[in-house]
Amino acid sequence: ARICFVHGDGHCDDLSVPDGTTVMRAAVSHSVAGIVGECGGQAMCATCHIYVSDKYLEFLPDMDEDEDEMLDDTVEPRDPVRSRLGCQLRLEGDIADLEVTVPGRQV
Ligand code: FES
């Protein structure tokens, strides 16, 4: 799988990771700035908040209730369609190739 993390200054961390890796794990294992993953992927911290780029939105899996509730607690404003928790998105299938924007702050 492949993922590109776009930062506020426009640069992108473009990573290759095993299929099925979550967006949060991909970021943390490559020390991508701006993704914290404090709770280790339990949908309990919202420090893995990311904004999914428009062209991938139609391929995203539905979010469950835990993710939806946690997204109300992000530090940067929640976007009604683009905000997701990175720990709840796996890079596989239709989103094995993904681009996301990293929020300015997570804590
Ligand atoms: Fe904590 Fe995703 S890592 S909510």
Print the SS3 string covering the chain. Answer: CEEEEECCCCCEEEEECCCCCEHHHHHHHCCCCCCCCCCCCCCCCCCCEEEECHHHHHHCCCCCHHHHHHHHHCCCCCCCCCEEEHHHCECCHHHCEEEEECCCCCC
Domain 2-101 indexed as CATH 3.40.50.620: no
Find the 25 Cα to ligand 1 centroid distance in Å. 10
Q: What digits encode the pLDDT tens for the residues 72-98?
A: 999 999 999 999 999 999 999 999 999
Q: What digits encode the pLDDT tens for the residues 8-62?
A: 999 999 999 999 999 999 999 999 999 999 999 999 999 999 999 999 999 999 9
Specify the pLDDT at position 23: 98
Find the 12 Cα to ligand 1 centroid distance in Å. 21
Instruction: Please give the ipTM for the structure prediction.
Output: 0.99
Specify the pLDDT at position 9: 96
Residue with CA closest to ligand 1 atom 4: 43
Q: Which residues line ligand 1 (CB under 6 A)?
A: 24, 37-39, 41-48, 70, 85-87
